[in-house]
Structure 1
Amino acid sequence: MTKISTCLFFLSLLLSIQLFAQTSSGTNPNILFIAIDDLRSELGHFGSTQIQTPNLDELAKTSVSFKNHFVQVPTCGASRASMLTGTRPRRRAELGNLIMQDEFSIRAELSRPETFIHHLRRNGYRTVGIGKISHSADGFVYGYEEEVSDKKELPHSWDEFLFDAGKWGTGWNAFFAYANGENRQSMKRQVKPYESAEVDDLGYPDGLSTQLAITKLRELKGNDQPFFLGVGLFKPHLPFTAPKEYWDLYEENEILLAQNPSKPQNVSNQSLMESSEFNGYQLGEEKASLNTQLSDAYARKIKHAYYAAASYADAQVGLILDELKALDLEENTIVVVWGDHGWHLGEQQIWGKHTLFENALNSALIIKIPGKEEKARIENSIVESVDIYPTLIELAGIPTPYELDGESLVSLIESSISPKEQTAYSYFKNGISLREKRYRLTKYFREQKPVIELYDHQSDPAESINIAEKHPEIVQQLLPLWEKGNTGIFEK
């Protein structure tokens, strides 16, 4: 070993010891990460919405809330995999819900960490998970109608993973739960896509997860290690079930219908979807399709159900944040609230999430850095889920373990310095979509025409008219920027 190599070795060792001492002493910030399934970027503090989210609105008063946050993939498992690894999908397998179940769960612990949670754990953090953080409802790998296994979906990320399945018995039963203890599977899908029950918050699984989180926060307070606590709430994912008190927040006949309830103009049906997940709840009074719109009355019923479920999830967030404050952990805990993707509530004649349109890709993201409350604001810059990994690693004072696709948002949060390129890239249905400040440009790898779609968010924020053919000059201007997000996923 040369003198230079020896010096570099001992310098690296010294930095590692210094980092370990810092994390062990508890000077690193704790991280509370709350993932909310199917939560659109339509929160009370943004205005122009009827959804009531008072607790998220209160959090936003001391946080940066990102109005233009976009996920990489509009489906649960793939979106979470991309966010957790800080990388865009490069293989078709990375667009499926089972990517972590099929691949992450069987990998040996490599030098490259499986997720940013794993990287935090390697650098002195105690990592605890509750509920749906990856794709699994309870952290284990098994099918919807199978017995719970002992195979972990993320075997190297967690020191501890908890879930209370209550009367539903398993995580997946709880995920599709109804208040009487039944679930979508047990009822052979002979269920409605909604439910209003005369129960309190503990009458559904998210209430049980919230109580676990509160109990765990009390335990973690006494630890010397900084902690990462991940809490995954199910609602407002289908079925849209919630205690009646949250339904009572809304007058159904006053709920507004989608501004763009028809299929977009100049678009192939291949870009859309038949709302099959929604229609899988077979006792629904009406079925959604690309040929028939729901009646206004039923559309209001379903939006009412989604709103109630979102308000129920919001209430759980409030309980967790109240406990964080009561334990005096608030001043040294970063808080992140993240929606894993959006959801069409009748827009583009769709009830679901599996598209490359704004409604499916735009989801909630709120980040609070303790001591930076004066920087609180609604931020309009374009950001992506892959930005979360580098942001948290920088805030934790930990080196980045490998080249990430995302860009840290710390400068944007602390000093309003916008990302170098305000772009977001999303992948699905044989297509790649670029979102920049004004336009969304989507290019599909398929035979059905048109393969290029262009939407002007200045004149058409509802994405109701594809103007690509009318404005080829704008398409040509944006294609080089679009190409930067082309990972070659559909060309292999």
Structure 2
Amino acid sequence: MKAVMVMFDSLNRHMLPAYGCDWVQAPNFERLAERSVTFDRCYAGSLPCVPARRELHTGRYNFLHRSWGPLEPFDDSMPELLKNNGVYTHLVTDHTHYFEDGGATYHARYNTWEFVRGQEGDHWKGQVKDPVIPESVNGAKMGDLWRQDWVNRQYMDTESKHPLARTFRQGLEFIESNKDEDRWFLQLEAFDPHEPFFTPDKYKDFYPHAYEGRHFDWPDYGKVTEQPEEVRHVIYEYASLVTMCDAYLGKVLDAFDRYNLWEDTLLIVNTDHGFLLGEKQWWGKNVQPFYNEIVHLPLFVWDPRHKKRNVRTDALVQTIDLAPTLLDFFDVKIPEKMQGQPLGPVIGAGAEIREAALFGIHGGHVNVTDGRYFYMRAPIHPDNAPLYEYTLMPAHMHKLFGVEELQTMELAEPLPFTKGCKVLQIEASTVFNPFLYGHMLFDLEKDPSQQTNLQDDALEVQLSNLMIRLMKESDAPAEQFARLGFGEGEEITGEKLKRQAKEREQWFRIDLGIGETWTPEAAMAYLAMFRPVPLARRSFVKESFIHYLKQEQIKDITEQHMILFTEQFGPLGKSMQRAVRMFAKQSN
């Protein structure tokens, strides 16, 4: 028995023909659907990229305890469990985040791995002289990442040099070399169609359109401020990359046909999350509420034990189910603390493995769906607190935790899944602020595009209590319940929800005591400004802002005053300014 996982990054479900899209050219995804089970209700769990991969290894939600970070010493890693039980595991990837501080423990869990360089500003090719960068409609806002990407692109002047092509070539070489062997798992993982949406012209030619604007294939996360023709152009750039991904998926399907791997090889084709391409006036992920475009995922599985093909299932499944599925396939014992369930019973017998799905990003909304209703629960305080990280591996995405962050850390008692290990409890902060959006409730049956925020107290109570139960089952720390207004996890009532709604209104009536005036947008931007500021420094920042307003004799406050004010705070000020600018987009 063998297994292949073809994993794409930021693959939008709603842009695949197998899920109803009638204009994106992706014939091999259609071919895949004819050879496998298509899952209609697959949801993400922990987001974004690396938290999703921690779920892929551990079969557990991690967003309630931790943001982006490495695998922990107490984590059960699916590839390592396979390796320790006689299954050869191999990773081929061009996902650069595996090789940064915040992801550096993942690749070593496999027997062997190959890393293809060059994606999204990967620190690959050295060039002191600045590269020639076309003027972009959104500017070079990503700084060094943007610069490095344009250095790297000089080395990708043919399709064969593109990281996607090189990644699949190496994955296919592994299949070719090991097709006659038994008990191996290949994770063939492509960074595409993640931004930037960079493709050879042959794939752009599938989507001819009139466009005379500046170069634009990498939107910055935030509200859409571009013109409609620019948005349309980026959608076509993304579609071109999906078509390129489809072409290389086809090469894997060809290998399955050529060597008749369908007889004994599990095939999983999946992604970590989607990407907003102007829907709801948003670009990207992470900073906005997690609408369906981001969390409702495509998933295709061929299981040779059941040989179900060209069928669909509406069973509610998640990323956490993939680790136990692979362990079950190879008859490896599933750890007790894995929350996911094997998909074999779903495929073979139509089993329902969960009542509801929980998902989110650390410090963001906590979300739940039962497949029909979709509830986003925001914090009840603009500080989005209390909020802590629990870790023994204090690293962020690109860097280690700073000394200032670690000065307030404490050693916390073991959590139920840390195998008796005490963990560091570190005060956390985020640039985004889910408090600004409040709670949101959607009926996916009547409103699949999530345009109408329902006002239904009874339903909100029902879904809140469902969320509380799932959080308890996930060993959520006590402060997560407090942050969301759930007390210590006791059952919530309609009366309590109404009281919290009135308290929320009061937070937007800001009065600094100096006779100032606020527009609603300025008040919300003020709250956003504090999001990256450690709790211990917020009083100081507030007093400094009051001093600034008095000194400059400012009475009518706008977002621009906050942007100017943040310049005095160095690196922290840049994070504060980014939070304000992000919100300034939101208020347009």
Q: TM-score, normalised by structure 1?
A: 0.74
Q: Which residues in structure 2 correspond to 1:87-98 (within 5 Å)?
A: 87-89=60-62, 91-92=64-65, 94-96=66-68
Q: What do residues 460-479 of structure 1 show as CA deviations (whole Å, max 9, x unaligned)?
A: 11112211xx2111111222
- Tell me which residue corresponds to 2:451: 464
Question: CA–CA distance in 1 between the matches of 2:219 and 2:109?
Answer: 41
Give how far 1:287 is off.
7.1
Question: CA–CA distance in 2 between the matches of 1:60 and 1:171?
Answer: 33
Q: Given the alignment of the two structures, is residue 202 of structure 1 paired with residue 160 of structure 2, yes or no? A: yes
* 2:207 aligned partner, one-letter code: Y
Alignment counterpart, residue 385 of structure 1, candidates 319, 340, 353: 319
Q: Given the alignment of the two structures, is residue 36 of structure 1 paired with residue 12 of structure 2, yes or no? A: no
- Tell me which residue corresponds to 1:219: 177
Alignment counterpart, residue 320 of structure 1, candidates 248, 252, 255: 252
Question: CA–CA distance in 2 between the matches of 1:471 and 1:169?
Answer: 45
Describe the shift of the 1:72–1:141 C-alpha distance in structure 2 as closer, same or farther (beyond 3 A).
same
- Tell me which residue corresponds to 1:430: 364
* 2:275 aligned partner, one-letter code: W
Q: TM-score, normalised by structure 2?
A: 0.62
Q: What do residues 61-81 of structure 1 show as CA deviations (whole Å, max 9, x unaligned)?
A: 121111221111331111111
Q: Given the alignment of the two structures, is residue 157 of structure 1 paired with residue 105 of structure 2, yes or no? A: no
* 1:302 aligned partner, one-letter code: V
Give how far 1:39 is off.
0.5
Q: What do residues 128-170 of structure 1 show as CA deviations (whole Å, max 9, x unaligned)?
A: 11015xx645x53469xxxxxxx953265211111343xx599
Aligned length: 404
Q: Given the alignment of the two structures, is residue 452 of structure 1 paired with residue 404 of structure 2, yes or no? A: no
Give how far 1:305 is off.
0.5
Give how far 1:127 is off.
0.6
Instruction: Say if 2:8 and 2:270, in contact at 8 Å, map to a contact too.
Output: yes
* 1:172 aligned partner, one-letter code: D
Q: Which residues in structure 2 correspond to 1:126-145 (within 5 Å)?
A: 126-132=88-94, 136-137=96-97, 139-141=98-100
Instruction: Say if 1:203 and 1:243, in contact at 8 Å, map to a contact too.
Output: no
Question: CA–CA distance in 2 between the matches of 1:159 and 1:191?
Answer: 30
Give how far 1:300 is off.
0.9
Q: What do residues 197-219 of structure 1 show as CA deviations (whole Å, max 9, x unaligned)?
A: 99653131110111111111122
Q: Which residues in structure 2 correspond to 1:32-431 (within 5 Å)?
A: 32-42=4-14, 43-89=16-62, 91-92=64-65, 94-96=66-68, 99-100=69-70, 103-104=71-72, 107=73, 113=76, 115-132=77-94, 136-137=96-97, 139-141=98-100, 153-154=105-106, 156-165=108-117, 168=118, 172-173=122-123, 188-189=146-147, 201-223=159-181, 225-252=182-209, 284=216, 293-354=225-286, 355-370=289-304, 372-431=306-365
CA RMSD of aligned residues (A): 3.4
Tell which has more relative contact order, 1 or 2 (C-alpha 8 A, sep 6+).
Answer: 1
Give how far 1:325 is off.
2.7
Give how far 1:379 is off.
2.1
Q: Given the alignment of the two structures, is residue 479 of structure 1 paired with residue 479 of structure 2, yes or no? A: no
Instruction: Say if 1:393 and 1:400, in contact at 8 Å, map to a contact too.
Output: yes
Instruction: Say if 1:342 and 1:359, in contact at 8 Å, map to a contact too.
Output: yes
* 2:337 aligned partner, one-letter code: E
Give how far 1:420 is off.
4.2
Question: CA–CA distance in 2 between the matches of 1:289 and 1:83?
Answer: 25
Question: CA–CA distance in 1 between the matches of 2:220 and 2:109?
Answer: 39
For the pair shown, which has the larger CA radius of gyration, 1 or 2?
Answer: 2
Instruction: Say if 1:36 and 1:340, in contact at 8 Å, map to a contact too.
Output: yes
* 2:448 aligned partner, one-letter code: P
Question: CA–CA distance in 2 between the matches of 1:208 and 1:71?
Answer: 28
Report the 3-state secondary structure (helix = DSSP H, G, I; strand = E; otherwise coil) of the residue aligned with 1:95.
coil
Describe the shift of the 1:288–1:399 C-alpha distance in structure 2 as closer, same or farther (beyond 3 A).
closer
Report the 3-state secondary structure (helix = DSSP H, G, I; strand = E; otherwise coil) of the residue aligned with 1:370.
coil
Instruction: Say if 1:391 and 1:410, in contact at 8 Å, map to a contact too.
Output: yes
Describe the shift of the 1:423–1:413 C-alpha distance in structure 2 as closer, same or farther (beyond 3 A).
same
Give how far 1:303 is off.
0.3
Q: What do residues 445-465 of structure 1 show as CA deviations (whole Å, max 9, x unaligned)?
A: 243466321111122111122
Question: CA–CA distance in 2 between the matches of 1:246 and 1:170?
Answer: 19
Seq. identity, %: 21
Question: CA–CA distance in 2 between the matches of 1:426 and 1:335?
Answer: 27
